[in-house]
Amino acid sequence: MDISVVIPLLNEEESLQELYDWIASVMQSNRFLYEVIFIDDGSTDQSWNKIEELAQKSDAVKGIRFQKNYGKSQALDAGFNIAKGRVVITMDADLQDSPDEIPELYDLITKENFDLVSGWKKKRYDNVIAKNLPSKLFNWAARRTSGLKLHDFNCGLKAYKNAVIKSVKVSGEMHRYIPVLAKNQGFTNITEKVVIHQARKYGSTKFGMNRFVNGFLDLITISFLSKFGKRPMHFFGLWGTLMFIFGFISAGYIGATKLYKLSQGTKAILVTDNPWFYIALTAMVLGTQLFLAGFIGELLLKSRDQEKYYKIQEKLNY
């Protein structure tokens, strides 16, 4: 199979027929062998009924229905698990991503041997204040943190080698950082392509300020995990040890100073009246806690399983 198109969706019943017809037209005109995987992330409208209708008409349509809304990352992960195409393309279901981009994305992966091609919506039709400016700030921070020179990390239109999507684990709200996750797995041949951004035709945007804030929190998380995710003791153990040593030396100095003054018959304040005593004590306690956090992190890392944080209610055509 040439291409798997993975489409997560939430309450997009109005656009699904038009989107699938458009994808099918592009695929057939280019003679691609393809599958379209719709992942219904807990829709409360008639989206799943529409997917069932499409699946009855075409074996190329596959569907996954979540029991409730788990999030875009979980939906993508479920789609990646069953995708069989040589090239896997993700896009949103709201018709803002153009299926006409698929042939060029496919060629960039198969002919130019890129591991991942990220779409760049250079000209956008979103609200400038509500979405464009926060996105620019977010993308700037992501570039500085990750080292990847991409302009639009959050663009839903991306193309991957199959090996890439089988290697990354997408959870939480990490879908924004799949290029970073791929890079951490050793897939470094990553580029971007300017793609068409179309105005939303149906429904309403799912973007909100909570996603903007969560995006920055996830950026901090993935930056930490990329450096210390497989060796938490290197971070917590190092700082824990340094803090404990600082506290221990400070406590030793306070005690030695007290004993010296007593031996010289000099008046000395009580150790507990010295503010440095509490600083030293706090440093030793925090140092011990950080060291233990690193140790527990190592234990959890070695014992964790690959639990999926979503529950599938129905499947279609596979």
What is the SS3 string spanning 238-281? HHHHHHHHHHHHHHHHHHHHHHHHHHCCCCCCCHHHCHHHHHHH
Are 224 and 247 members of one domain?
no
Considering the domain boundaries, does residue 308 fall inside one?
Answer: no
The DSSP code sequence of 4-70 is EEEEEESS-HHHHHHHHHHHHHHHHHTT--EEEEEEE-S-SSSHHHHHHHHHHH-TTEEEEEESS--
Positive or negative torsion for Cα 93, 99, 105, 111: positive
Mark whether 210 and 236 lie in a shared domain: no
- 226-235, 286-295, 299-308: range with lowest mean pLDDT: 299-308
pTM of the predicted model over 0.85: no
State whether 250 and 161 are in the same domain. Answer: no
| Residue where a domain stops, chosen among 193, 228, 263 | 228
> 303: Cβ–Cβ under 8 A, 6 or more apart, which residues?
none
Domain range for residue 279? 232-303
Which of 288, 286, 276 lies closest to 249, judged by CA? 276
Residues 295 and 217 in one domain: no
pLDDT in tens, 158-193: 999 999 999 998 887 788 889 988 988 899 999 999
**Span 104-122, average pLDDT:** 95
Whether residues 210 and 270 share a domain: the answer is no
Last residue of a domain, one of 171, 206, 228: 228
221-266 per-position pLDDT tens digit? 666 666 666 677 778 888 888 999 999 999 888 888 888 888 877 7
Q: How many residues does the chain have?
A: 318
**The predicted structure's pLDDT at residue 27:** 97
